[in-house]
């Protein structure tokens, strides 16, 4: 539970190797922070040295987005061992290569299973926990890619469109419970996932996404765009005629 000054004491990251997710955790940590829980498919690959050096108790646990039957148990076990989480972050996902997926329907289905189905299961499990405890914030890492799906990465974009819609509805369902959902919509972010890709305009660093996310949590916002100008750009993109949109290189 947050302390009297509103500082986060326990934060959970589902997607313990996500650079954006880890940057958000880092930005949330304060002298009041007691526990950081990093949940990842391969716990042995998760680095905890920096946060342990700052005196934070870091717990690394196994979490697999493709095993939805385990998700509620994972969240409940975290709460049993570390107390009520203040912030739960859903930051796992895969980008994929559209040309490769065009020829691999099974691979496309697997990506959808991680990015969307896994996030739905994890989101519902986290929401159930936050609803029971009567407080807490769920951060869902969406993307501008879901605002209007592009042909160059339409499988990935479709998963983000679905996730974003799910998160909006989940947030509405939590109104009055004491818990809430924050949807984060970054544009292109420089990370290992996008390494080698040509940066889109207004590209950001993970730390910029983290700073905007933490401020939005403090302000009690429902959605945050990173950078903020993308909100207005995609408002225009949303209404472009389809033939023109197909020709856009964004």
- Enumerate the active-site residues: 156
DSSP, res 178: T
Q: Which residues contact 116 (CB under 8 A, 6 or more apart)?
A: 159, 162, 163, 166
Number of Cβ atoms within 10 Å of the Cβ of 66? 12
Number of Cβ atoms within 10 Å of the Cβ of 36? 26
* Sheet containing strand 35-40, strands side by side: 57-62, 35-40, 10-14, 87-90, 136-141, 179-186, 223-226
Do 146 and 162 form a contact (C-beta atoms < 8 A)? yes
Rounded to whole angstroms, the Cα distance separating 64 from 70 reads 8
């Amino acid at each position: 539970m947050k302390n009297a000054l509103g500082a986060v004491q326990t934060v959970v990251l589902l997607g313990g190797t996500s650079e954006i997710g880890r940057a958000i955790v880092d930005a949330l940590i304060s002298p009041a922070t007691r526990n950081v829980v990093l949940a990842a498919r391969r716990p042995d690959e998760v680095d905890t040295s920096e946060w342990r050096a700052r005196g934070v108790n870091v717990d690394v646990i196994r979490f697999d987005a493709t095993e939805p039957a385990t998700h509620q148990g994972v969240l409940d076990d975290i709460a049993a061992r570390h107390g009520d989480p203040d912030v739960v972050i859903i930051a796992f996902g895969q980008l994929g290569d559209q040309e490769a997926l065009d020829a691999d329907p099974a691979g496309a289905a697997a990506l959808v299973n991680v990015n969307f189905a896994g996030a739905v299961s994890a989101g519902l499990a986290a929401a159930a926990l936050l609803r029971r405890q009567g407080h807490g914030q769920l951060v869902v890492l969406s993307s501008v890619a879901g605002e209007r799906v592009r042909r160059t990465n339409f499988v990935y974009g479709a998963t983000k469109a679905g996730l974003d819609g799910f998160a909006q509805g989940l947030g509405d369902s939590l109104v009055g419970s004491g818990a809430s959902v924050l949807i984060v919509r970054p544009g292109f972010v420089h990370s290992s996932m996008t390494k080698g890709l040509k940066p889109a305009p207004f590209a950001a660093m993970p730390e910029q996404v983290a700073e905007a996310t933490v401020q939005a949590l403090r302000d009690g916002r429902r959605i945050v765009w990173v950078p903020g100008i993308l909100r207005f750009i995609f408002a225009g993109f949303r209404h472009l005629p389809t033939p023109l949109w197909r020709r856009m290189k964004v």
